[in-house]
Amino acid sequence: MNTAQDRNRIIVFDTTLRDGEQSPGCSMNLDEKLRIAEVLEEMGVDVIEAGFPIASNGDFEAVREVARAVKTSQVAGLARTSRKDIDRAWEALKGAKRPRIHTFISTSALHMRVKLRMEPEAVHEMIVDSVRHARDLCEDVEWSPEDGSRTDHDFLCRCVESAIKSGARTINIPDTVGYAVPHEFAALIAMLFNRVPNIDKAVLSVHCHNDLGLAVANSLAAIGAGARQVECTINGIGERAGNAAMEEIVMALRTRRDVLGAYTGIKTESITNASRLLSSITGFNVQPNKAIVGANAFAHESGIHQDGMLKDATTYEIMTPESVGLTRSTLVMGKHSGRHAFRSKLKDLGYEPGENELEDAFSRFKSLADKKKQIFDEDIVALVGEEARTGNERIRLVSLAVTCGTVGPQTAELELEIDGVRKSTKAAGDGPVDATFKAIHELVQHGATLKLYQVDAVTEGSDAQAGVTVRLEEMGKTVNGQSSDTDTVVSSCRAYLHALNKLLVKRERTAPAAFGG
C-alpha cells in the first residue's frame, strides 16, 4: 500500500533524447546521446525516453546503446501502433534492465480524419491490438493518445479504458500542439479520474508542448489534478516551441511544495550541469533570462535588489543558486594554475573527467591561458565542450591562415586531414569566414547548405573566446557544429568541420522513415 508520501512522488519522464532531439538543429550523435543519458541517470530521472527506434538506423542504435548503458533509470522507446514499429522498439530496448515501450496513436477527430484517414472504430482497434502486442513483449507499456487535449472526451475515456484493459501501465495525455490552458487541462485530467472506471490501475502522465508558453503551467495544473508522471526535456527543447522544461517543473515543485504538495526524486544540484552539457552539444544556448538555467536567473543588477540581497538573500532569492548546482567558485584560474587546481575547478563546475580526458583538457587550458589573461568559468565550460567534440572525426583541421582587412579579396589558406590524408587549398571570399567556408567546400565535396552561423562571445573582454555555432542541412537532415577559440575564424572553421563530421556520421547511419509527434 502506498503511503501518502509515495502518492505525492512525481515520476520524471525525460524525453530530451526523443522529442527534444526531434526539434530542428538539435540532433545528437550516439556519443552525445550516451553522455546526456548518463547525466540524466545520475540526476535521478525515473524514465529516459531514448528515441524512436523505427525512425532511422541511428535512432535504433542510440536506443539500444542507451538501453545497455543505463542501469537505474527505466529506458523507453517510442513506437506507433503497427507491429513492425513495436517489434523494432522492443528489439532496441530488450537489453535494458528496465525497458518500457511507449506506443501512441492520434485520437482527436482532426488527426484521425486528416492525418490517419481512419475511422474512430479502427483507431480504437489499433489501440487494443498495439498495447496487447507491446505487453506480450514488455512488462511495462505506456500508451499516449496523440493530440489528447483536443480529443472528444467520450472517445478519450473509451480509448484510455481499453488501453489500460489491454495492459498499459501508464496513460500519457499529450497536449501535442500546446493548445491547452491550465484550468482546462487540469479539468481534463480530473475528468479522466472521474469517468474512466479502471483509471486506478495506471499512472496518469502528461506531456505538454509550449506553443503558448504554458507547458510548465499545464504540467503543474495536471499534477494538482492527480497526474503522477510528467514528460519534459532539459532546457525545454522539443518540437516547435519545445516541451515542458524539466528544471522548471522540478524547481517549482521543490520551491513551492507548500502549495503544490508533490515532489520528485531529481537531484536538483545537477540541473546546471545538465543544462550546460545539452547546450554545448546542441548549440542551443538558453536565453539569459530563462528561468532556473539562464545566465541571469540568479543575477541581481539593480541597486535596490543588491542592497536587499546583501542584507538577507531571501529578500529577492526564492531558491539558492547552489540548489540548482550553480556554484560561483572562488578559485581564480590563470596560466600559473596547476593540474590540481584545474581538476578542482572542473569539479566545482560539475565535471569529473577521467585521467586521459583531464590531461587533454589541461593541455588545452594551458594553451588558452597563454593567449588569455583571465580565465573565467565560462571559458572552462567552453573548453570542456571543445574537448568532448574532438576525438574520432574523419575531417580534422591542420592549419588555417587568412588575410582580412579593408583591402580585398580576403583569402583563406586551409589544410585539412581527411580520412588520414592531408589536403590543402586557397580560396577567396567575402570576408575571412566566407573564404574559409569556401576553402572547406573545395576540399570536402558536400551538398549541405548553411542554415545558421552564429557567434557569441563566451565571456567579456576583447580577448574573449568566440563561441561559434554552424548549422548545416543536407537532404532534410540538420546538424549543428560548435567550437570556441580566441580566434573567431579558427572557431568558425572548427564549428563548420564539426557539423560536417556529424553529417558524415548521419549519412552512414540514416535510413529513411517517418517521424511521429
Q: Give me the residues that bind Zn ion (CB under 5 A), please.
A: 19
Residue 19 or 485 with smaller CB distance to Zn ion: 19
CB of 502 to ligand KIV, least distance (A): 24
Taking the C-alpha atoms of residue 203 and residue 201, their distance in angstroms, rounded to an integer, is: 7
Calpha distance 336→480 (Å, rounded) = 35
Q: Measured from the CB atom, is 46 or 161 closer to Zn ion? A: 46
Answer with the entry of Zn ion, ligand KIV, none that 516 interacts with (C-beta below 5 to 8 A by kind). ligand KIV
Q: Of these partners, Zn ion, ligand KIV, none, which one is at the site of residue 325 (CB under 5 to 8 Å by kind)?
A: none
Closer to ligand KIV by Cβ: residue 19 or 140:
19
**Mapped to the 3 state alphabet, what secondary structure does 413-479 carry?**
EEEEEECCEEEEEEEEECCHHHHHHHHHHHHCCCCCEEEEEEEEECCCCCCCCEEEEEEEEECCEEE
Quote the CA–CA distance of 330 and 419 in Å, as a whole number: 43
Q: Which is nearer to ligand KIV, 15 or 488 (CB)?
A: 15
DSSP symbol at 94: T
Residues near ligand KIV (CB under 6 A) are 19, 104, 144, 146, 174, 176, 207, 209, 516-517
Nearest to 88 by CA among 394, 487, 513, 470: 513
Q: Which is nearer to Zn ion, 234 or 439 (CB)?
A: 234
Strand pairing class (263-264; 477-485): unpaired
Give residues with Cβ within 8 angstroms of 20, minimum separation 6: 26, 233, 234, 237, 238, 242, 243
CB of 19 to ligand KIV, least distance (A): 5
Nearer to ligand KIV, 26 or 433 (CB): 26
In the complex, the smallest distance separating the C-beta of residue 84 from ligand KIV, rounded to whole angstroms, is 17
Least Cβ distance, residue 175 to ligand KIV (angstroms): 8
CB of 80 to ligand KIV, least distance (A): 9
Give me the half-sphere count of Cα atoms (radius 13 Å) on the Cβ side of residue 142: 29
Largest CA distance in the chain: 79
Nearer of residues 203 and 505 to Zn ion, judged by Cβ: 203
Residue nearest to Zn ion (CB): 19
Least distance (Å) between residue 146 CB and ligand KIV: 4
Task: Give least dist CB 18 to ligand KIV, A.
Answer: 8
Cβ–Cβ < 8 Å for 152, 144: no
Q: What sections of 196-338 are H helices per DSSP? A: 215-224, 246-255, 257-260, 271-282, 303-311
From the list Zn ion, ligand KIV, none, partner contacted by residue 104 (C-beta under 5 to 8 A by kind): ligand KIV
If contact means CB under 5 to 8 A according to the sort of partner, which of Zn ion, ligand KIV, none does residue 146 touch? Answer: ligand KIV
C-alpha cell at 235: 532546457
